[in-house]
Structure 1
């Protein structure tokens, strides 16, 4: 998520990827049935012939069905170092190919879904879980309530918990990132701290009770430029939400107000805290190929960055407050460095290398011991903020991939497979 003003931004949105559903649905059903997912939850929308073929193929491998131990959410964060994960365009590259390119199975794989999600999105999540079970370890599930917070009903929460429990039982832990970037002004759930905290707490209570292999992540937007005036969903003066966000009680929302605390749902509801940090460039407008400023990654995480929005030193120290004071594991759910193939300026390898050298600096784990997850944004996609294609990837170009994999530090943790065994053991 960039340092700039709305609308929200690059990397944090997902593209639609179900257009080819029918072409791969049957093989997915077979894989997931073998992994222990219920037939009825998978075959909605398939023909009777497809359904019977899938059930027959799955039945032939019943003896190989695994029994999987559920990883309790408290055991997900490593005691030292950080999990390395990926936000991957699975239409462009399957997780198995990414793992081969990286030389490691990623510990975390990011998925997006509307919430409530559609039947096709539900199948996609189960398909992603099957890939993770084989070539990763854990899912970070970002749920976007695009119909507004009121759409988070008891029935939708009950369905979510059941699906999470099924995925957990298949050997895949899940961290739910619910309604991320809620302190922005560009989403239907934006700048509604009272309703947001209530919805988050209700989902967290249900997830904690019904899906012990799943955890909850609270993930605001990096607050440079807060309160992002002019966004479609900015808080309006005279409303209870506006009053709750006016933390210094001066009748205005500015960077002098706390840009995170009014949205925090409480320690009981939150298992992880997260913040996406990108290098979108050194100055606005975005789209130029620019070298990352020195120490930018750490400065953004601590609220001391001086860059595109001016002096952000009024921002709270996110890591200190939520990682240290609240004692929560800290995640960088998405990170990458902007490279615009259509623009001149700095070379792609220099931009990306100087960013990952900051992220993976030895000082990073020493200075931020509660930083427990770092996920790379591995997409080559059109970005509306640039009105053009941006290549965020690090494994698609062999020379960049080789440099990146060589730079991966020893303190990162990768996917180790799931705690599953055949039923005939």
Structure 2
């Protein structure tokens, strides 16, 4: 009987990924606009409810973009997290803009030091490396063999270098949602005509159905999956840009309320409208007990069951042309339609509700995308927690964004499934007090049960 109890407890240890909260709880965080002088503390103040569970920022560990180099970003990030006076997690989105082969051992070691510093400060870490690797807008994209090899090598290195802090860092594998895949009209789209050995090997990996064509019917996720042993959490990027892509302006431009099922269709595919939502079910593959097998060989690619984070999400509001010359004024379909609040509220309500989360119980965290920036032909407001302190647009613009954050603050009071950070002051509080399952706590149960049964 003793060994049965220990086996059950050991299974619990294995089942709980690093940083995974208790069943029924979800961490809520925000990717803040560091370059526009926003801060975690400013977001908490605008929210004016409870401190968010985590804050996300980005780093280019390859050194190509010096202003996002680790030595520039991490000291600032550490101080900004300290300023919140909470035990909020740090979420790092780490880009290898110089390519996988350009990463040096010193850069790996420096990153490990940065991770240890954050953990020692009292902030556990979500680590999202080379995100959206299935896309074609980053130099490292659509290179499944290079990505998988790099991921396995780097994650193994960092886990070893973290030592006792390894259980406080969760490595997140996070592709883009499959709608629009294989994204063949982007800057770094895979060259289907290439005949070099690397390209031919990648083509074979990308052609998941083996029909000799790389197209929308190929799986957007499985070629890039490093394997269950190398992944702690699975993530995804999901956005609402509008209802119809405008070919005349080569851009999304319309401000419409998203359909209540849109988020779910992006998350798990919707083959009946695969061109719009994607064909492959990411959640089913990697977070449900179903898992996924290679359709050609039958080999198990994932056993599933991974906790999932919505790594970045937002409903956009188009408010101006990027280049107004020769364009109608104002932006088409943005006047007398829907407000920022109506659009964004419909989006968060579509997945932050008990019915949706009961259907997808492995969704354990979500991060909003707190940016106002130009993309394609329009300026877009992605924010949910209000405009950054010095954002462009003037008082009336800030007021419109304030309506959004106040609307969310009102809705969130009924979201009892959300977990928030602890205020720590001078104390050291682990995230276990907020409902996370730690290896140490379950190990203690095992030891106690063992001692009890040995005494019988």
* Shorter-chain TM-score range: 0.7 to 0.9
Cα distance, 1:75 vs. partner? 4.3
The 1-side partners of 2:170 and 2:18 are apart by: 10
Partner of 1:29: none
Partner of 1:333: 311
**Cα distance in 2, alignment partners of residues 303 and 262 from structure 1:** 17
Query: C-alpha distance in 2, partners of 1:419/1:241?
Result: 51
Match of 1:318 among 282, 292, 301: 282
Could you give the per-residue CA deviations for residues 66-110 of structure 1, whole angstroms, max 9, x where no partner exists?
xxxxxxx94411022210000111333321121122122111111
1:127 aligns with 2:127: no
1:278 to 231, 239, 243: 239
CA distance in 1, matches of 2:137, 2:68: 25
Q: Distance between the aligned counterparts of 2:276 and 2:68, measured in 1?
A: 44
Matched, 1:207 2:213: no
Greater mean alpha carbon deviation, residues 111-120 or residues 159-168: 111-120
Which of 408, 418, 422 aligns to 1:416? It is: 422
Shift, 1:359, TM fit: 2.1
1:7 aligns with none
Q: Which residue of 1 is the match for residue 100 of structure 2?
A: 149
> Which sections of structure 1, spanning at least 5 residues, go unmatched?
1-72
Contact 1:88 1:379 in 2 (8 A): yes
Whether 1:96 and 2:41 are equivalent positions in the alignment is yes
Does structure 1 retain, via aligned residues, the 8 Å contact 2:62–2:99?
A: no
SS in 2 for 1:277: strand
The counterpart of 1:226, out of the listed 134, 157, 181, is 181
Task: Tell me if structure 2 keeps the 8 A contact 1:126–1:167.
Answer: no
Deviation at 1:331, TM superposition (A): 0.6
Write the distance in 2 (CA, Å) between the matches of 1:414 and 1:74.
19
Q: Residue 292 of structure 1 is aligned with which of 244, 258, 278?
A: 258
Whole-Å separation in 1 of the counterparts to 2:425 and 2:230: 26
Tell which structure's C-alpha radius of gyration is larger. 2
Match of 2:379 in 1: 388
CA distance in 2, matches of 1:392, 1:222: 20
Task: Report the CA distance shift for 1:245/1:271 in structure 2 as closer, same or farther (over 3 A).
Answer: same
Q: Report the Cα distance in structure 1 between the residues aligned to 2:67 and 2:260, rounded to whole angstroms.
A: 46
Equivalent position to 2:369, from 377, 397, 405: 377
Distance 1:75 1:312, change over 3 A: closer
Contact 2:216 2:275 in 1 (8 A): no
Deviations 1:362-400 (A, max 9, x none): 2122111110111111122222x2333435334343332
> Aligned equivalents of 2:341 and 2:131: distance in 1?
30
Give yes or no for contact 1:84–1:106 (8 Å, CA) kept in 2.
yes
**Does the 8 Å contact 1:111/1:125 carry over to 2?**
no
Structure 2 gaps of 5+ residues are: 1-15, 247-251, 292-303, 321-333, 388-400, 429-456
**2:267 matched to which residue of 1?**
301
Q: Which residue of 2 aligns with 1:56?
A: none
Alignment correspondent of 2:398: none
CA RMSD in angstroms comes to: 2.2
**Residue 253 (structure 1) aligns with:** 214
Write the mapping of 1:16-31 to structure 2, written as runs, cut at 5 A.
none
Q: Aligned match of 2:126 in 163, 175, 196?
A: 175
**TM-score computed with the length of structure 2 as normaliser:** 0.72
Q: State which drifts further: 192-201 or 337-346.
A: 337-346
Residue 296 of structure 1 deviates from its aligned partner by 0.8
1:164 aligns with 2:115: yes
The alignment partner of 1:310 has SS state of: helix
SS in 1 for 2:284: helix
Change (3 A) 1:214 1:350: same
Equivalent residue runs for 1:12-91 within 5 Å: 74-80=17-23, 81-90=25-34, 91=36
Aligned mates of 1:160, 1:251 — CA distance in 2: 40
**1:38 aligned residue:** none
Using the size of structure 1 for normalisation, the TM-score is: 0.77
> Structure 2 CA distance, aligned partners of 1:258 and 1:420?
49
- Supply the distance in 2 between the matched residues of 1:418 and 1:251 (Cα, whole angstroms): 57
